[in-house]
Amino acid sequence: MTTLSEQPGTAGTAAGAQDTEAARLRVVLLLDVRKGAQERFLDAYELLRNQVASVPGHVSDQLCQSIEDPSQWLITSEWDGPDPFLSWVDSPEHREMVKPMHSCVNDTRSLRYDILRETSVAGHAGRRSPRPERAGDGRIRHAITFTVKPGSEDRVARLLAGYASPSARVDSATRLCRTSLFMHGNRVVRAVEVSGNLPAALRHVAQQPEVRAVEEAINPYLEEKRDLNDPQAARGFFTRAGLPAVHEVVAGVDRPGPVRRYALNYPVRGGSGTAAARVLARSDELAAADPTGPLVRSTIFQRDDIVVRVIDLAAADDEDLALTTGTADRDLAAELGRLLDLPGAVLDLGDDRGRGELLAHLAMTLVTDRHAQDS
């Protein structure tokens, strides 16, 4: 749609292009929205998109929000070609249009591409209803998961709880904020919270001697062997162990009282991991929209049929069983119940007795939850 910049820059054409007609142009704008400015940003975007719709050469635009870090947004726009876009972006009208958005963002980056090939959308379903916008606080979460040999759980938990926290400062733009480690049976989940560059933070953590010593100590107890001295083997292990954050919500208002962190491991039927994550995501969107509810933040991690939900609550986990288990909405609860794999368990997720029994199946044990120490 716009660069949010008063400088037009350049947009090249594809080398070797034979068409005399200019290719359509795709403009990609990456934005870091300031904390607390989301509503003003959305209002500014609505005003801007209504104005730009009448600009000659403008075709369409989309507003997208990161599923990993809700403070990160993406605006894409399509133009008939570079000329109409560059004429508009260098105009006084453009500079006036983007002024309301400048105060809402920390940083922007604009990319321009010629559209060379395109997959047809003919026959695709109609437009989907937009998902609710989510608040962001500039922190990114990532997790890894692995299993240990049955019978070694207590020993592994002691090792994982006893390490010294690494330095929080990674570089001038990146900080390691928090590490939370949970166990459920013989499954370990480590969730890392980062401000800044996630890959840089993960490399920083892996290089710390305190962390390396613990990783070496638990090696004999892992179900999948690994050799941290072989970079290729170590990279392969952590790639397989990666548990991406597929959805996150952050409450748009402050919740009173202390905030506590919990994790739930959802055992799902074969092939149902993605569907279960989507159901839980819809449930969390509803919970975060309630200004009186205790949900502060929820992140859903999912890979294949491993589904883990890490939640921050301004309440104990058994105070609001419907919210904690993700079963407050009756229809969503019924859908989730059909996706879960709990052999022998017959649970009514529409009442607190059934939800309490479900929580007993899902609740992970907190091993350690600590903020990294500044160097």
Query: Which tops the pLDDT comparison, 22 or 59?
Result: 59
Alpha carbon separation from 119 to 81, 115, 116, 122, 368 (Å, rounded): 19, 11, 11, 9, 47
Strands 105-114 and 295-303: unpaired
What's the rounded Cα separation, in Å, for the pair 358 and 337? 10
Give 3-state DSSP helix, strand, coil % of the chain, rounded to 5. 30, 30, 40
State which of 49-53, 157-161, 290-294 shows the largest mean pLDDT: 157-161
| C-alpha triplet 276, 63, 106: angle, nearest 5° | 105
For the ranges 45-49, 253-257, 276-280, 295-299, the lowest mean pLDDT is seen at 253-257
- 3-state SS assignment for residue 33: strand
User: Radius of gyration (Cα) for the chain, nearest Å?
Assistant: 24
- The DSSP output letter for 131 is P
- Contact yes or no for 275/312 (Cβ under 8 A): no
Contact yes or no for 70/41 (Cβ under 8 A): no
DSSP 55: S
Contact assessment for residue 179 and residue 367, using Cβ atoms and an 8 Å cutoff: no
Q: Which secondary-structure segment (H or E) carries 76?
A: strand 72-79
Q: Could you report the per-residue pLDDT of 96-145, keeping only the tens digit for each?
A: 888 888 888 888 888 888 888 877 655 444 444 455 666 666 788 889 99
Is the Cβ–Cβ distance between 339 and 275 less than 8 Å? yes
Residue keyed to tokens 């969390």? 284
**pTM listed for this prediction:** 0.72
With beta carbons less than 8 A apart as the criterion, state whether 112 and 11 touch. Answer: yes
Number of other CB atoms surrounding residue 220 within 10 Å: 12
Mean pLDDT, residues 202-213: 81
- Name the DSSP letter for residue 219: G
- Are 63 and 75 in contact by the 8 Å Cβ rule? The answer is yes
Alpha carbon distance, N-terminus to C-terminus of the chain: 42
Environment class of residue 254 by beta-carbon count within 10 Å: exposed (0-12), middle (13-18) or buried (19+)? Answer: exposed
Q: What is the pLDDT of residue 317?
A: 93
Tokens 């149902």: give the residue: 272
Alpha helices in the chain (DSSP H): 38-52, 82-89, 92-102, 153-161, 198-207, 209-218, 231-241, 273-288, 321-325, 330-339, 352-362
CA–CA gap between residue 301 and residue 188 (Å, rounded): 13
For the cut 80, the answer to whether the pLDDT of residue 76 exceeds it is: yes
CATH architecture, range 25-114? 2-Layer Sandwich (3.30)
The pLDDT assigned to 20 comes to 37
pLDDT attached to residue 28: 93
The topology (CATH level 3) of 139-371 is Alpha-Beta Plaits (3.30.70)
Percent of the chain with pLDDT over 90: 43
Task: Give the residue range(s) of CATH 3.30.70.100 domains in the chain.
Answer: 25-114, 139-371
Closest CA to 140 of 200, 210, 51, 226: 200
CB 247 within 8 A of CB 65: no
Closest CA to 26 of 66, 81, 72, 74: 81
What pLDDT score does 372 carry?
Answer: 67
CA nearest neighbour of 306 among 253, 245, 254: 245
Average pLDDT, the chain: 84
What residues contact residue 198 under an 8 Å CB cut-off, 6+ apart? 68, 140, 142
